[in-house]
Amino acid sequence: MKQQAALPPGSPRDEGRPNTARNLFKQFGSAVAGLLVIAYIGLQLALNVGDFVEVENAMQAYVEAQTDVTAYIFREESAIYASAGGVCAYIAEDGEKVSRGQDVAAVYSQAGDASVQERIRELNEKIDILEQSQGFTSAGSTELTRLDASISDGILDVIRSLEAGDPAAAQRGDTELLVLMNRRRSLYLPAGSFALQIARYEEEIRALEASLGGRGSFVQAPFGGYFYDSADGYEGIFTPEALEDLTIDGFLALTESEPAPHDGAVGRISPESRWYVAFTLDKRQAAALTEGKGSSAAYTVSFPYANDLRVSFTHYKTVTRTDSDVAVLVLTTNELPTGFSFLRSQPAKLLTETYTGIRIPVAALRVVDGKTGVYTLDGNVVRFKETEVLYEDEGMYICEMPMLDGRPTVLKKQLSLYDAVVVSGRDLYEGKILN
């Protein structure tokens, strides 16, 4: 048999024939090279893992410490009743100051009549705005510039009130802004345009009043004061007189009391602006809040049910008992926020303290040689800086901020504003140079 001579690799007849040895060598070489790269990376990680640090800049922060309470409202007030049943339409605004004998509501047998009365109320509000807008028929360039600036400021005030969660203030600002814009608009309207519109509204009111034909019964204010379009039956229970000889047990009994019958009440009226809030606190906390403070010291309470409306109070009294860890703190104010419901019992937040300082993560704080502080980076050099924690809030510390002449300053040995604070890292010490 004739034997075929072996062909050199790469010859035409060798094409397509696998060279097992060569392929295995290539695969082996690639694997080794990959392992070497992985080993090198692993070695570098092992050598340098201690230099991997997480850094966060120290920033200024303002924090308010608050305590959740259940506030009970005490006022001098009386319920107002209608002489007959029916559909009630309010004439006076909620919270409006009224005089004795003034119509505050009307009661009708038909809902349609109540709607008519509501329309009359809306028209009177429009007339009031237009009357405030009159008398601005000409203006020089200086006055016009000033008016435009007031409009711009008014728009910003409304926006700020909405962002702050104070719709009552936004509504007041909206009315003032409308007056300003009407005055601006009046410069380009024929003389007497607002007076003409007022006359039209008054004519519509007369027609609506005539359509009522004297139907319905009007409810008058029994005395001068502040009118509110709701009643809860506690008007004679949560009174200022009840606060005079208040005890802890007496307060708890009040909070569990049942309201008096108030069917047929169309609202309530308070003869004065002063009102009170009372709530329980830990006795030690109550003492800390009032110790060394006079009767004029201000306390801020926010009300979530009123879009976190803030009201400033002063201290009225603190009720304690020797065998109890609970105290009743009573605060008072003359502020009458527009749109505030005066719901008898509602959640509230008592502002206990404010802190201005440097914000750092909790994980950044360390104790080194008995000193509390943080590690910072000065370039690539680790430095230890002392600090004092003022307040803890949601995983963050508020620390003392160095000040000089009322302004933040930078100190070498103390945590300062904008320091590069090390949040995490291994084997850190003063003077270490990071790779």
In a domain, 434, yes or no: no
Q: What percent of the chain has pLDDT over 70?
A: 80
| Cα–Cα nearest to 66, from 368, 265, 349 | 349
Q: Which residue has the higher pLDDT, 158 or 34?
A: 158
Q: How confident is the model at residue 130 (pLDDT cuts 50, 70, 90)?
A: confident
Count the helices and strands in the chain (H runs, E runs): 8, 22
Do 153 and 186 lie in one domain? The reply is: yes
CA distance 123 to 227: 20
The whole-angstrom separation of Cα 135 and Cα 41 is 83
Domain identity same for 145 and 173 = yes
Nearest to 75 by CA among 277, 347, 339: 277
- State the pLDDT at residue 2: 44
Find all residues with CB under 8 Å of 186, minimum gap 6, and list them. 133, 134, 136, 137, 193, 194
Give the end of a domain, one of 329, 355, 381. Answer: 355
pLDDT of residue 180: 78
Do residues 212 and 234 both lie within one domain?
no
Once rounded to an integer, what is the mean pLDDT over residues 375-397?
Answer: 93
Query: Could you say which DSSP state residue 31 is in?
Result: H
User: What total of structural domains would you count in the chain?
Assistant: 4
Q: Let me know: does 269 contact 77? Beta carbons within 8 Å.
A: yes
Comparison of pLDDT for 296 and 219, the residue scoring more = 219
pLDDT tens string 233-243: 999 999 999 99
Residue 112 maps to a domain? yes
Distance, in Å, from the CA atom of 348 to the CA atom of 69, rounded to the nearest integer, reads: 5
Q: What pLDDT, on a 0 to 100 scale, did the predictor assign at position 375? A: 96
User: 141 with 202, same domain?
Assistant: yes
Q: Using 50, 70 and 90 to split pLDDT, how confident is the model at 12?
A: very low
CB 240 within 8 A of CB 75: yes
What integer pLDDT is reported at residue 51 of this predicted model?
Answer: 65
- Does one domain contain both 345 and 360? no
Is residue 377 included in any domain, yes or no?
A: yes
The answer to whether residue 416 sits within a structural domain is: yes
pLDDT confidence of residue 143:
67
* Cα–Cα nearest to 332, from 294, 289, 276: 276
More confident residue, 267 or 186: 267
72 and 172 fall within a common domain: no
| CATH at 411 | 2.40.420.20
Domain annotation covers residue 176? yes
Amino acid at 62: Y
CA neighbor of 239 nearest in space, from 194, 212, 204, 276:
276
What does pTM read for this prediction? 0.63
Task: Say if 4 falls within a structural domain.
Answer: no
Spatial CB neighbours of 276, under 8 Å, sequence gap ≥ 6:
73, 74, 75, 240, 243, 316, 330, 331, 332
- For the stretch 69-93, pLDDT in tens is 999 999 999 999 987 777 788 888 8
Q: Which of 363, 369, 359 is nearest to 415 (CA)?
A: 359
Please indicate, yes or no, if residue 7 is contained in any of the structural domains.
no
pLDDT band at 3 (very low <50, low <70, confident <90, very high): very low
* DSSP state letters, 8-28: PTTSGGGTT---HHHHHHHHH
> What does the pLDDT average to over 277-300?
91
Domain end among 219, 239, 264:
219
Distance from C-alpha of 60 to C-alpha of 358, rounded to nearest angstrom:
5
132 and 158 assigned to the same domain: yes
Helix (H, G, I), strand (E, B) or coil at 174: helix
Give me the residues paired with residue 56 across strands.
421
Q: Where are the beta strands (DSSP E) in 197-340?
A: 217-220, 225-228, 265-270, 275-282, 298-303, 309-319, 326-333
Q: Measured on CA atoms in the order 358, 363, 368, 371, is the torsion positive or negative?
A: positive
Last residue of a domain, one of 173, 192, 219: 219
Concatenated DSSP letters of 321-333: -TT-SEEEEEEEE
Non-local (6+) Cβ contacts of 198 within 8 A are 127, 130, 131
Please tell me the predicted confidence (pLDDT) of residue 398: 95
Can you tell me the mean pLDDT for 24-34? 54
CA distances from 8 to 11, 12, 25 (A): 6, 9, 19
Whether residue 162 lies inside any domain: the answer is yes
Residue 308 sits in the same domain as residue 360:
no
Contact between residue 301 and residue 351 where contact means Cβ atoms under 8 Å apart: yes
Q: What angle do CA 27, 29, 31 make, to 5 degrees?
A: 70
* DSSP assignment string, 134-158: -S-----HHHHHHHHHHHHHHHHHH
304 and 347 together in one domain: yes
Query: What are 332-379's pLDDT values in tens digits?
Result: 999 998 778 899 999 999 999 899 999 999 999 999 999 999 999 999
137 with 196, same domain: the answer is yes
Mean of pLDDT over the chain: 83
- pLDDT confidence band for 46 (50 / 70 / 90): very low
CA 98, CA 225: separation in Å to the nearest integer? 6
Domain coverage including residue 376: 54-60+356-424
Beta-carbon contacts of residue 47 (< 8 Å; ≥ 6 apart): none
Please indicate, yes or no, whether residues 213 and 233 belong to a single structural domain of this protein.
Answer: no
313 shares its domain with 344: yes
